[in-house]
Amino acid sequence: MQRYILDNNKNTNVDDFQVRDGLIQKIKSRFHTYGYKQVRTSTFESYDMYSDVAGTVNREEMIKVIDSSGHVLVLRPDVTIPLTRTTALNLSVPNSYQRLFYVLDVFRQSEEQVNQKESTQAGVECFGENSPEVDAELIMLSIHTLKDLGFNNFKIEIGHAGFFKELIKQTKLSHQELDVLLSYVQSKNIAEMTPYLQKLSIDEKVQSAIVSIPLLYGKPDEVIKQAKSIILNKKMEEILQNLTDVFSILQDFGVEDAVNFNFGLINNMDYYSGVIFQGFVDSIGKPVLMGGRYDHLSEQFGHSLPAIGFAFEVDLLIHALIQQGLTTNQSKPIDFTIQYTKQKQKEALHLAYQLRDKGYTVLIDTKAAALNNSGASCVIRYEETQNTVKIDNKEQVFSNSIELLSLIEKGDT
């Protein structure tokens, strides 16, 4: 499935930008209501910052440039890493609590999407606390936002980065063997996974637990019961309890029907350490949001700072809105058009200023044909002998702007 993008090589419908702007405004408004403050990061970042941080963006996907001094830079491939670095390095108080959000473009190149190197992400990052309450509220924020956008049928899939990692710790798999196994888990390819595991030197109990991972998907209560049967150590038990606590809070929010558990959810970003989640909507085969807890990422910048975040893929959201017929005409309607003769120009322009100052949308043009096609609900004409205004198909005469404004207020235009 190709993402919805605005191709610079094609004519772009102005309404597409209006849909995009309206969507972003809704997202930002919802983020604000949860106490998040907007920030931004530099478009150009040091290549070393990303290449030196383990388990993050694939180096081959970064778009590199060289500045005039010979330093290698990259176009921002990720927002979480620079935000974590900035927050960690600027800590005045250990574990200071911060809620930040952004709407920024990220740049990557991949073999799967050769023609798309830029996408817009709208995300949040919550620093300073690790608790089921914070995890659940962040997931609730993603659900609340999807509802704001008009999506009625969507699912948030929740997993935990640590559960599968605990199973892998019971093995001695090489990086190559682990990559193959991960591909089977992500594709839920149990038919090939089972014989593959049997060829490896892995305890049968661990093998059985690994094979069960892709099957641990569905309603949280049912998945929790199934997961209890493959717990091999205390750490796995604690992880399952953490997920149980998060789901209990989501039940209190009243959004349990929007949630599934997915223990086979394994994000490509290795820095995730706790709860991970992604969101799907109808008609889109890819997640429109992804996120999770990454408590250890800040340690690579010399500080310990618990953190969790997620990001919406704005282009995918727009595509979904269009596919589901949820877009409406986002353009603000024209309230007034003003036509005037040269002799009446000063009066007309002064009126336009007054109306715009009151928040009305006004078009000024001496070409009647253009005004007639503007779709304005009210047409004002300054002519040689008289001034007229047409409100609700009723034409009235006025002598000055004060009288006109009075007519407008009476007509509730």
The answer to whether 125 is annotated as binding is: yes
- 76-84: average pLDDT: 92
Q: Which of 52-56, 170-174, 289-293, 329-333 has the largest mean confidence? A: 289-293
Residue 360 among known ligand-binding residues: no
Asked whether residue 354 is marked as a ligand-binding residue, the answer is no
Q: Are 285 and 1 in contact (CB under 8 A)?
A: yes
121 is in an annotated binding site: yes
The rounded Cα 257 to chain-centroid distance in angstroms is: 21
- CA distance readout (Å), 210 to 104, 175, 200, 232: 38, 17, 13, 11
Stretch among 131-145, 174-188, 219-233, 361-375 having the lowest mean pLDDT: 361-375
For the chain, the straight-line distance linking the first and the last C-alpha, in angstroms and rounded, comes to 45
pLDDT tens, residue by residue, 9-20: 434 566 678 889
Identify the helix (H) or strand (E) that includes residue 80.
helix 80-89
pLDDT digits (tens, 9 = 90+) for 334-364: 889 999 999 999 999 999 999 999 999 999 9
Residue type, 174: S
In this prediction, residue 2 has a pLDDT band, given cuts at 50, 70 and 90, of: very low
- Determine whether the annotation assigns residue 7 to a binding site: no
372, pLDDT greater than 60: no
User: 80, 125 in Cβ contact below 8 A?
Assistant: yes
Confidence label for 6 from pLDDT (cuts 50, 70 and 90): very low
Q: Which of 140-149, 179-188, 290-299 has the highest mean pLDDT?
A: 140-149
Token duo for residue 241: 């309890």
17-66 pLDDT per residue, tens = 888 999 999 999 999 999 999 999 999 998 888 887 776 677 888 899 99
Range in 70-84, 231-245, 269-283, 368-382 with the lowest mean pLDDT: 368-382
> pLDDT (tens digit, 9 = 90+) per residue, 121-149?
999 999 999 999 999 999 999 999 999 99
| pLDDT-derived band at 113, boundaries 50, 70, 90 | low
Residues 263/159, Cβ–Cβ less than 8 Å: yes
The number of residues in the chain equals: 413
H or E stretch covering 220 = helix 220-228
Checking if the pLDDT of 314 tops 80, the result is yes
Is the pLDDT confidence value at 239 over 70?
yes
Q: Does the pLDDT of residue 387 top 70, yes or no? A: yes
- Domains of the chain and any CATH numbers: 14-323 (3.30.930.10), 336-411 (3.40.50.800)
Tokens 């996120």 sit at which residue? 291
User: Which residues are within 8 A (CB) of 234 and not within 5 positions of it... i.e. 6 or more apart?
Assistant: none
Q: Please, what is the average pLDDT of the chain?
A: 88
Angle between helices 234-253 and 161-168 (to 10 degrees): 170
**Mind giving me the DSSP string for 312-369?**
EEHHHHHHHHHHTT-----SPPP-EEEEE-GGGHHHHHHHHHHHHHTT--EEE-S-HH
Can you give the pLDDT at residue 8? 41
Query: What residues have CB less than 8 Å from 167, skipping those under 6 apart?
Result: 206, 209, 210, 213, 232, 236
User: What pLDDT band is residue 116 in, cutting at 50, 70 and 90?
Assistant: confident
Question: Smallest Cα–Cα separation from 216: which of 158, 274, 271, 167?
Answer: 158
Asked if residue 107 has pLDDT above 60, the reply is yes
DSSP at 279: E
Percent of the chain whose predicted confidence (pLDDT) is above 70 = 88
Q: Is 80 annotated as a binding residue?
A: yes
Report residue 293's pLDDT band, with 50, 70 and 90 as the boundaries.
very high
Distinct helix (H) and strand (E) counts, the chain = 14, 17
Contact 301, 176 (CB under 8 A): no
Give the residue from 198, 209, 214 showing the smallest Cα distance to 231: 209
Q: Which residue did the predictor score with more confidence, 271 or 405?
A: 405
User: Is 108 assigned a ligand-binding role in the annotation?
Assistant: yes
On the question of pLDDT at 373 being above 60, the answer is: no
Quote the CA–CA distance of 103 and 23 in Å, as a whole number: 11
Give the predicted TM-score (pTM) of the model.
0.85
Question: Which helix H or strand E contains 209, and what residues bound it?
Answer: helix 204-212
Dihedral sign of CA atoms 81, 86, 88, 94 in order: negative
